[in-house]
Structure 1
Amino acid sequence: MSTQNQDFPGERKRTFGVELEIIVAWLWDDEPDPHQAIASTLPPILRCPVSLKKAYDEGTVVGEEKITKLIFKTFTDILKKHGLPTDLMEGIYDQWRIKSDETVSSIEGDYKWSGMEIVSPVERASDESFQLIRYTLDLLRSNYRIMVNNTCGLHVHVGDGSELMPLDHVKRVAGLFWAADPLLACIHPPHRRTNFWCQSIRERSNLAHGLIRDDDNQTHLSTCNYLGGSTRHGESPVSWREKYHDPRHLRAYEATRVQHDFEPFFMKDPNDRSASGNNRNITPSSSDGNLDIDIQVEKYAADKGSWDAMPKTPYVSTRDRKTPRFAYPVYTPEDPNQTMFSVLDDKAEDDIGVFAGVQEIYSCVSSCMIEWLLRAGDRPNYNLRAYACRNHNQRLTRPGTIEFREALGTVDGKWAETWARICVGLTQFAIHAPVKEYLAVLCHIDRAANEGAPYDVLDLLDEAGLFAEAVVVEKRLIENKENFRLKVMPN
């Protein structure tokens, strides 16, 4: 019997999307090309009609809007021509979109410049969808003269389709990126560390500063804990709670969260005014991987020396590296000349470390609390804004994603594809890795930070199974060793 057309249970693929911030060069129809001598080796220059010149030169809003609309339509048309559905409307996630971005600044020079943001559709993570990012950016680069400057970013959104990630997944992802933040920063130019729009969770977040949330509004807390709280086996997904969250639902949910109660929260019908079934005192499932992480992290905090989950030997990569290991990065107070924006959240005086931070994250009873802990400025480098309590009523217009913001904008399609793969791949590792392997990564990073153990960002990628991506990153680090201020460890 053929099984080709049968559906079998399987892993639900992660979803993702990217935002590509770029700057486009253009000229008036009657202007000479400033690079005419080498024009044959460059992409065509985008031309705008002289009829718009007067309004544009006067600096009127109407003049600028007309140029922007013309450029956006040109980009929309080229994408559509190559089979990529594209629109200019907000709130559309199944097509490419072209939009303005006020954080992208133009540059002075021989050309006119216009900033824009190109947003991909939401895609299931697959080789084809990652390759599409590369194809699209390479297509635009071959048809227009585009570039990036230090105000441009490459943002990757990783999510769970139309659902919010459940609390246990958010804990795992937040814990890993709290630990890995300093290592992953090595992949990007140092000035991204001091960019207002991607402030470090490890250096500037509420958690980094040791702050405690002060909120005595019990109704508000109950709602946050209900929508962002744990999802047990057999319970409806978070989207059901978003639809039904009046006081009776909150009370029924809280009844299953009292001490020693481990029954799932379930209401047969939205009009049923009581939770179905009786809550029985039972022992928690031994398959609760996050419970194991909770216990192990507490053991580490209590007595590091006798921690039974401690890897016995240093990490050894199974991949043939081309470089010696890079030293664990130490980020000194920033030079004001390298600060992209004048106002940053204060940097924590001391690093509280990997496990102290992870322990706080795992003590949270809702994803809202985790978002608050990792909040840094208006946008942290690993942004959980979609999980903030204040955003639960905006879910129709705000996808439930985690946003990776630290990458500098790029016109290199291969790097854009690789970084998207890394963001999704590390998220997948964080969520699905066995407890022992998850804790081993945290321990290796902690040892590198506190004991100078040999472990760098390439080891992190290797340990997460991202071998092809590690090869691309290794080449990037070799080429940018001086610009990224990387130091190698002595043999």
Structure 2
Amino acid sequence: MLSFLDLRKKFLQKSLQTQSSFGVELEFLVAVRSDSDNMVRFVPEELAGQPGQAILIPEEKNNLWERDTYCINHVQATLDSCLGNLSAKTRVFVPNELSTPEEGYLHEDYEYWTAKQDASIGLPDKLFSSGEYLGHQWAGIEVTSPALWNENESFDEIRKVCEVLKARYWILTPPTCGLHVHYGHGQDQIAVQDLRNIAALLLAADPLLVQLHPESRKRNRFCVSNRLFSDVAQGLSAETATAMLMHDSVSSEGEEAPQKVMRPLQGSKLLSRSSWRSFNRLIPQGTLTSYPVGEPGSKLKCPGNAAARLHAPRSILGCVEEILSATQPEVVARLMQAPPNTSSKPAYSFANYDQQQPFPNSNSEIKKTVEFRQAAGTVDADEIITFAKLAIGLADFACSSDLDTFWSVILKCAQADANTTAQGKDKTTSYDVFNFLADIGLCRLIRPLQNIVIKKHPTVQESQSK
């Protein structure tokens, strides 16, 4: 007899009519020292007891560009050596199996684990004056996975990469680092009806999902709130976005908009219903915080442009209605993008579906994914795998759930957001992220996510000790 999880996976695959795929991007700092430096150095507290060590740079490679290039090549060689014999079963794009050399070149970035430079990562200012960090240099590295199928072997591969990196290097993941997860449907583009469902769910649940992340990710210009700062939240309509695209000569084939089913909120009765599956709560209700809540009617300050003052966002139901009215993937992408007059990026990016963005991704025709950007940087395999499964679970639910279930969840998110705004608090006491995850059938992720939150959030640790 099939287990519940096997039955659910079978149902999802049948409903989606395509297998889900994903990829991860890991950002971190790696310690670097000159091979001629024989001085005894302090070991940073975060690295005490770790088996790795600093990369020793040849003395002649003394400028920044040469140092970073050496580090990237060093990490790449480590990845290549540990992954040489892995099965191609995990790969969306299997090396050496593409029909033309041109296809092979275009897909190259998505066939292998790749190390790159990331100049956006640095030590926090307070650590520059700390004695235990002096004498070490730190190179910003981004390791990207290939496009992987949603299979156990893919998660085993991630675990192996993390183990090898931690065994070989001294690694730090300061607040400037992020963990990004890409969700897709293999080599196929996500159908517009699925894309708009994913966007609608993520915008509605954004104030709840952010409860899983540390404060450094809540006011961060690299993952600003879609619910607060996206173009649709700031008033852009699907009709206007479509007209803008027509003016820009975008001519992708559209889909018929779904029938608009806007149901009235049910007040406290809606949020008092028990989730359809129970779970063991480790974190007391009302402990977790969402985005900072300003004064009612006040202008919003968007991370990435201190001078920008944005309007209070339209309601979640208003945003969802506009998103579900979109008939082209480019329109969905426009509605979900961060404000154009800032240097911000959204927590949930659909930019790969907008070829008319100011700086389009040259590989967007290949990289047909939605990017989840809000998780904090880590090289802990359990954390990476949990957030990857969360992204897959959220998107799969949006693509496969029936209309009644989908709207029930949207309405609960909207009511929780309305309650928080009305109370002027950044906490939701009656319905939090774990209630939401139970409602969409992701109970299996609640325990590992609670463990991550307890480990990373000082305020939650304090509540646990009381």
1:465 is aligned to 2:433? no
**Distance change (3 Å), C-alpha of 1:314 and 1:83:** closer
TM-score by length of 1: 0.72
**Distance change (3 Å), C-alpha of 1:84 and 1:23:** farther
Letter in 2 for 1:27: R
Percent identical: 24
Aligned to 2:398: 430
- How much does 1:51 deviate? 2.8
Higher radius of gyration, 1 or 2: 1
Counterpart of 2:284 (choices 324, 348, 352) is 324
Aligned to 1:48: 56
Counterpart of 2:42 (choices 35, 38, 51) is 35
**Distance change (3 Å), C-alpha of 1:145 and 1:76:** same
- How much does 1:218 deviate? 7.8
Distance 1:104 1:465 in 2: 36
**Structure 2 unaligned regions, length at least 5:** 1-12, 87-94, 96-104, 296-300, 420-427
**Distance change (3 Å), C-alpha of 1:147 and 1:443:** same
Counterpart of 2:28 (choices 22, 39, 46) is 22
SS of residue matched to 1:326:
coil
Aligned to 2:73: 73
Contact 1:201 1:374 in 2 (8 A): yes
SS of residue matched to 2:67:
helix
Letter in 1 for 2:41: P
**Distance change (3 Å), C-alpha of 1:432 and 1:216:** closer
**Structure 1 unaligned regions, length at least 5:** 1-8, 57-62, 231-256, 258-289
Aligned to 1:206: 231
Contact 1:203 1:348 in 2 (8 A): no
Distance 2:169 2:21 in 1: 29
**Distance change (3 Å), C-alpha of 1:85 and 1:367:** farther
SS of residue matched to 1:78:
helix
Aligned to 2:10: none
TM-score by length of 2: 0.75
Distance 1:371 1:70 in 2: 37
Aligned to 2:185: 160
Give deviations 1:178-207, integer Å, cap 9, x for gaps.
100011111111221221111111111111
Stretch moving more, 379-388 or 350-359: 350-359
Aligned to 2:209: 184
Distance 2:463 2:231 in 1: 30
**Distance change (3 Å), C-alpha of 1:14 and 1:116:** same
Distance 2:77 2:382 in 1: 23
**Distance change (3 Å), C-alpha of 1:71 and 1:324:** same
Letter in 2 for 1:81: S
Distance 1:487 1:202 in 2: 28
| Aligned positions of 1:56-205 closer than 5 A | 56=62, 63-84=63-84, 91-106=108-123, 108=128, 109-110=133-134, 111-205=136-230
Give deviations 1:378-410, integer Å, cap 9, x for gaps.
421100001114168945665111011111111
- How much does 1:132 deviate? 2.1
SS of residue matched to 1:469:
helix
SS of residue matched to 1:455:
coil
Letter in 2 for 1:157: H
Give deviations 1:434-474, integer Å, cap 9, x for gaps.
22211121122222233467221111222222223210111
Letter in 1 for 2:329: S
Distance 1:171 1:217 in 2: 18
Contact 2:50 2:166 in 1 (8 A): no
Letter in 1 for 2:113: W
